Amino acid sequence: MPSAIATTARAALHILAKDLTVELRTREVFLTMSLFGVLIVVIFAFAFNLDPQSLRAVAPGLLWVTVVFAGNLGVARVMDKERELGAFQGLMLAPGGPAALFWGKAVGVFLFMLAMELLVVPLALLFVSIELPLAGIGMLVLGLTLGTLGFALIGTLFGAMLADVRMREVLIPVVVYPVIVPVLVAGVKLTAHAFDPALGEPEGFLPLMIGFDLLYLALAPWVFARTMVA
Amino acid sequence: MSVGAVAGEVVLAARDVSRSFGRSWAVRHVTLELTSASLTALVGDNGAGKSTLLHMFAGLVRPVEGCVEVFGETFVGFLPSDIRCRMGFVGHAPFVYPDLTGNENLRFFGKLYGVARSIEEDRALLTRVGLADAGEKLVRTYSRGMTQRLALARMLLQDPDIWLLDEPSTGLDAQGIKLLQVLLAEARARGRCVVAVTHDMAALGGVDREVRLRAGRLVQ
């Protein structure tokens, strides 16, 4: 008899594999997020006509606004796919239950967002003419990965909870953004340090981001299981 | 005969269950026992509480009063994994993925339920439900009736002890309804407990018991 954790892990992997198969076939989530992300970047690039110093100051915020706005669309699309023919309930009834559903979806959102960032972030740097020093690449990648993880966890939690609610496209960001503010602030600071290593070490922002990610990792699946079951 | 079930044994029961949505009661003080090797039809007007009761049996809707008993164990709300594995549910929605083919849907749900199946077995199952030529087509291209046949196949691969069906004849043509009747008769003969919400008794092809709900209450 497989343990509950093994059953959940296996079911989560099957859900993730199914989402990847569907995404490779339709590219719907990636294209939606990427097109929106590129659009925001282009609009910002035309809207701001700043000197390099000012640009460096606003670029981290610009980058993160792009990531979370596009990520929000991704979360909504991922959940819509489960709602389309009621498969969401089917997954709830399956052996892995809500825990497998949460982990399968959260990892999927995380991977889809990373794929989008691989396209949108270099374009953003190009459009707003920001130079990324070699020494800052590691910090940028680390900040984006950790920030995306936090967003994916909280986005999946509320995306699923609000999946059947009217005006969910509006409600998801309204509830997600306030919860991820600490991660967002830390992400912006880490990105600023990545763009300008002269700023020195980002001090407490990396532990802040890791701490909140760990908090989300512990709380989000727990809250998800309880609310979905209720 | 299902594992651990004796013909005529109570395997599923509602004990004084009630459920409200806002101020209106969908189900009120319903007590009902369902046995193995039986086919029960839940009938009643729209809004009588049939689907809510079925969802409570599946653990998808939590009763505000009372409890559900499955295989002798008492539950309020969501059911544990080992019990869920022994229940099959075909709801209003077919619970399948439109961007996967029929075969891929069966393979996915087979893996999810830990049912090891060969491609030939999946093909045979699709043939059984009349989708032999549609297995490699995306479900998005299926008609409503074909999707309903796939939903039945999804439940069949799980081979559950309890079948919970919400309007199982939805979208089915005459052949599909015949297939449904054969499946239900076989399930009953194999000791399964089948509960079907329906407005079309004829589509079920004869039932052991008809349970009527009116305004959330059991009337028959």
Cβ of B84 and A21 within 8 Å? no
What are A94-123's pLDDT values in tens digits? Answer: 888 899 999 999 999 999 999 999 999 999
pLDDT 10s digits, B136-167: 999 999 999 999 999 999 999 999 999 999 99
Q: Which of residues 77-96 of A touch B (CB under 8 A)?
A: 81, 84-87, 89-96
The SS3 call for residue B151 is helix
> What are the Cα distances from residue A144, in Å, to A20, A91, A150?
21, 30, 10
Instruction: Determine which of B99, B136, B165 to mutate to test the interface with A (most A C-beta atoms within 10 Å).
Output: B99
What does R_g of chain A's alpha carbons equal in angstroms? 18
Question: Across chain B, what does the average pLDDT equal?
Answer: 92
Average pLDDT, chain A: 90
Q: Residues of B at the A interface (Cβ-Cβ below 8 Å)?
A: 58-60, 62, 77-78, 81, 84-85, 87, 89, 91-100, 104, 108-109, 111-114, 139, 147, 154
Question: Strand pairing partners for B35?
Answer: B10
Give me the residue from B84, B95, B97 closest to A22, CB to CB: B97
How many domains does one find in chain A? 1
What average pLDDT does the segment A152-162 reach?
Answer: 94
Confidence of residue B3 (pLDDT cuts 50, 70, 90): very low
For position B36, what pLDDT does the model report? 94
What is residue B6's predicted lDDT score, i.e. its pLDDT? Answer: 58
Residues in chain A closer than 8 A to B96 (CB atoms): 85, 87, 90
pLDDT of residue B220: 66
The model's confidence at residue B4, banded by pLDDT at 50, 70 and 90, is very low
Of all residues in chain A, the one with the smallest CA distance to B109 is A94
Q: What is the mean pLDDT of residues B63-81?
A: 92
- Looking up tokens 């909140």, which residue turns up? A212
The boundaries of the domain holding residue A61 are 4-229
Q: Across the strands, what pairs with B210?
A: B41
Contact A85 B95 (CB under 8 A): yes
How far apart (Å, rounded) are the C-alpha atoms in residues B198 and B203? 9
Please, what sign has the CA dihedral across residues B162, B167, B168, B169? positive
**Shortest CA gap A210–chain B (Å):** 32
Across residues A38-47, what is the average pLDDT?
89
Beta strands per DSSP E along chain B: 10-21, 24-35, 38-43, 65-70, 73-75, 87-90, 162-166, 193-197, 209-214, 217-218
Residues of chain B contacting residue A94, judged by C-beta atoms under 8 Å apart? 84, 109, 112-113
Is the model more confident about B41 or about A202? B41
Q: What tens digit of pLDDT does each residue of B77-101 get?
A: 889 988 999 999 998 889 999 999 9
Q: Band the pLDDT of B218: cuts 50, 70, 90.
A: very high
List chain A residues with CB under 8 Å of B146.
Answer: none
